[in-house]
Structure 1
Amino acid sequence: MPEPSEEALRWAVDAVGGDARVAAVTGLREGANPWLLKFEPAGRIEAAVLRLGDPADPDHGQRFGTEVAALRVAGDHRLPAARLIATDLDGAAAGALAVLTTVLPGDSRIPPVASIGRLRCLGAAAAALQTVPLAPRAALPLRTRSIADVDFAARRREKGTTALLAAAEERLDRLPVPGGPTVLVHGDLWHGNTLWSGDRCTGLIDWDCAGAGSPGIDLSGARFDAALMFGLPAAEQVLEGWQRAAGRRADHVAYWDVVAASCTLADMAFCVPVMHDQGRPDLDAGVLGERRDAFLSAALTRLDADER
């Protein structure tokens, strides 16, 4: 996507107010959307993040509605998320669907090695979400897995699967989704959607997959990501951080781990570019595939034990 249009930038300036002008525009994802805007002269708002919709994406309107609704809930409960400055959910003023938010401190670059403290902090960030009870609603629907707008099973049928992924899919088809109260879920909780200052998680970003669901969705999403980034033992530190912050043991971890690992394709090359963009050029499809399979195999083994 090219840089924001003059129309979108004028909309952002009007939202900020005063005599500000956009002094710099920086792409935050692979050099593109969303955009970090810096304003001069620095007034009450020195910078903001501008997210624009893609007219070529037929679902971008729904995702924008979800993002805005989730940020409002997060703000109401003082979660570490950006605050809304302005929204244009029909594109009439900005020339495209647009959301303007505050800038959170920290960055999302993923280190090659993670400390125990960082991994436990990731678990604690997931645990903070389970403190927010939430009933499903139009903009925040019921979620039963991460990245719910992508049908990974259908894509595997089209592109090919593996025996392990097929076994996991068959197992999930036979099992009921664990019940319980629904809470706010981020729905795509991986390192690239977290911000850090050292080993302290300063915020969660990209809420367009949010909704209402089990706390296990975000916990196991974070555990799976840690296993992909740093190896299988890292997932246990995420769990430890979650349980310490929540003050209780997590439920149905094996089930939700299988769900998390099933949100992939047989060939892990599909997620390599974004991981390279986030600072991990050492990760390739082979490494990610091996780590995914190790995590999934362990989860299925534990699920077998739980069912006995």
Structure 2
Amino acid sequence: MSTEGPAAEGPAAAAARLTGRRVTGERRLSGTLSEVVLDGGAVVMVKRADGPGAVRAEAAGLRWLADAGTVPVPAVHGDDDRWLVTDRVATGRPDPQAAARFGRDLAGLHAAGAPAFGAAPPGGPADAWIGAAPMRNTPGADWPHWYAEHRVLPYLRQAVDAGAMASAGAAVVAEVCDRLPELAGPAEPPARLHGDLWSGNVLWGADGRVRVIDPAAHGGHRETDLAMLRLFGCPQWDRVFGAYREAAPPADGFAARVPLHQLFPLLVHTVLFGGGYADQAVAAARAALAG
């Protein structure tokens, strides 16, 4: 085991320290992610924090999702302020049966609920992350006002301040926030959300089960997970959503509300990457207003 401190050690040393097992191999996948082989042949994923509190937020989110007993997630083998060690998922190809089961499992995850909109997972920090962007979990009782105040407006302000979005587009998004109570659809209880459910965080397991990774878990509106899953294209989407709809039908008008829920991740992408995401966010805002 390495004698280096946590701030100086690498993925292999971190895995050995956090699991208490000897490391026999390592493969770097990116600047922050590695596969590490432990004695006995088990392979784990070792991830370095993107920012303060990121590991604690992700680990707490994974455990909270796992506690629902619905959508499988990689088991957490160890974590600290800098490093997260989880199972590696052996992946296969998207499968219709797996897609249908995922849809049912996702409905069950949402039904597991949360104490409030914006509630952080137990043990998770209020100052969390969505990808490489900070995300604050502040509880609220009313979804339309909470969504505007804590999921749309903070990223809109950052996008405008950074020059990534023009004032005319920002005005359209602000109008959505003003009209959210009438655009939000029927009131629903807080759902237990993955929170960053784009297709890259959906792994089609070799065992025929879908697993989800890299959550930005919090209490929110279940349609937000569904809209994000649809945003960048999900394999077998029709089967996933068809099974979800059979298990827990969204309220009437869901299709018209999809752009409203996609506004949050599009604004996050605008802040992180700029480019055409601002145009997509404004287009989503216009679509939400049009109903």
TM (normalized to structure 2)? Answer: 0.68
Q: How far, CA to CA, are the matches of 1:74 and 1:198 in structure 2? A: 21
Q: How far, CA to CA, are the matches of 2:177 and 2:80 in structure 1? A: 39
Compared CA separation, residues 156 and 268, structure 1 to 2 (3 A):
closer
What is the match of residue 32 of structure 1?
31
Counterpart residue identity of residue 219, structure 1: L
Q: CA deviation at 1:100?
A: 1.2
Compared CA separation, residues 150 and 6, structure 1 to 2 (3 A):
farther
What is the match of residue 76 of structure 2?
84
Q: CA deviation at 1:199?
A: 11
What is the match of residue 182 of structure 1?
190
Structure 1 residue aligned with 2:45, among 49, 55, 65? Answer: 49
Q: How far, CA to CA, are the matches of 1:64 and 1:200 in structure 2? A: 28
What is the match of residue 134 of structure 1?
114
Conservation of the 8 A alpha-carbon contact between 2:35 and 2:43: yes
* Residue 172 (1) aligns with residue 177 (2): yes
Provide structure 2 residue ranges, at least 5 long, that are not aligned to the other structure: 1-6, 127-136, 140-145
Counterpart residue identity of residue 84, structure 2: V
Conservation of the 8 A alpha-carbon contact between 2:203 and 2:212: yes
Conservation of the 8 A alpha-carbon contact between 2:91 and 2:205: yes
Counterpart residue identity of residue 64, structure 1: V
* Residue 154 (1) aligns with residue 157 (2): yes
What is the match of residue 130 of structure 2?
none
Compared CA separation, residues 259 and 202, structure 1 to 2 (3 A):
closer
Compared CA separation, residues 65 and 151, structure 1 to 2 (3 A):
same
Q: How far, CA to CA, are the matches of 1:50 and 1:198 in structure 2? A: 21
Map Cα deviations across residues 170-215 of structure 1 (whole Å, 9 max, x no partner): 12322226632112111111011111248966211102x2111111
Compared CA separation, residues 115 and 73, structure 1 to 2 (3 A):
closer
Q: CA deviation at 1:168?
A: 4.0
Q: How far, CA to CA, are the matches of 2:32 and 2:192 in structure 1? A: 25
Counterpart residue identity of residue 57, structure 2: T
Q: CA deviation at 1:241?
A: 3.9
What is the match of residue 12 of structure 2?
9
What is the match of residue 89 of structure 2?
104
Q: How far, CA to CA, are the matches of 1:41 and 1:65 in structure 2? A: 28
Q: How does 1:1-308 map to 2 (within 5 A)?
A: 6=9, 8-18=11-21, 20-27=22-29, 31-42=30-41, 46-54=42-50, 57=51, 60-61=52-53, 63-78=54-69, 79-89=71-81, 97-106=82-91, 123-124=103-104, 126-136=106-116, 137-138=119-120, 139=124, 141=137, 142=139, 144=147, 148=151, 151-157=154-160, 158-161=163-166, 166-176=171-181, 179-197=187-205, 202-207=210-215, 209-226=216-233, 239-244=241-246, 246-250=247-251, 253=254, 254-264=256-266, 298-301=287-290, 303=291
Map Cα deviations across residues 36-63 of structure 1 (whole Å, 9 max, x no partner): 2123442xxx111112224xx4xx21x3
Map Cα deviations across residues 51-82 of structure 1 (whole Å, 9 max, x no partner): 2224xx4xx21x33321222122222223111
Conservation of the 8 A alpha-carbon contact between 1:152 and 1:264: no
Compared CA separation, residues 298 and 24, structure 1 to 2 (3 A):
same
What is the match of residue 134 of structure 2?
none
Q: How far, CA to CA, are the matches of 2:207 and 2:273 in structure 1? A: 24
Q: How far, CA to CA, are the matches of 2:152 and 2:284 in structure 1? A: 23
What is the match of residue 131 of structure 2?
none
Conservation of the 8 A alpha-carbon contact between 2:262 and 2:284: no
Alignment partner of 2:214: what SS? coil
Map Cα deviations across residues 5-52 of structure 1 (whole Å, 9 max, x no partner): 54653231143335x32412222xxx221222123442xxx1111122
Q: How far, CA to CA, are the matches of 2:223 and 2:170 in structure 1? A: 20
Q: CA deviation at 1:84?
A: 1.3
What is the match of residue 132 of structure 2?
none
TM (normalized to structure 1)? Answer: 0.64
Q: How far, CA to CA, are the matches of 2:38 and 2:153 in structure 1? A: 36
Counterpart residue identity of residue 265, structure 2: C
Provide structure 1 residue ranges, at least 5 long, that are not aligned to the other structure: 90-96, 273-284, 304-308
Conservation of the 8 A alpha-carbon contact between 2:18 and 2:77: yes
Q: How far, CA to CA, are the matches of 1:118 and 1:299 in structure 2? A: 32
Conservation of the 8 A alpha-carbon contact between 2:173 and 2:282: no
Aligned pairs, number:
254
Compared CA separation, residues 149 and 188, structure 1 to 2 (3 A):
farther
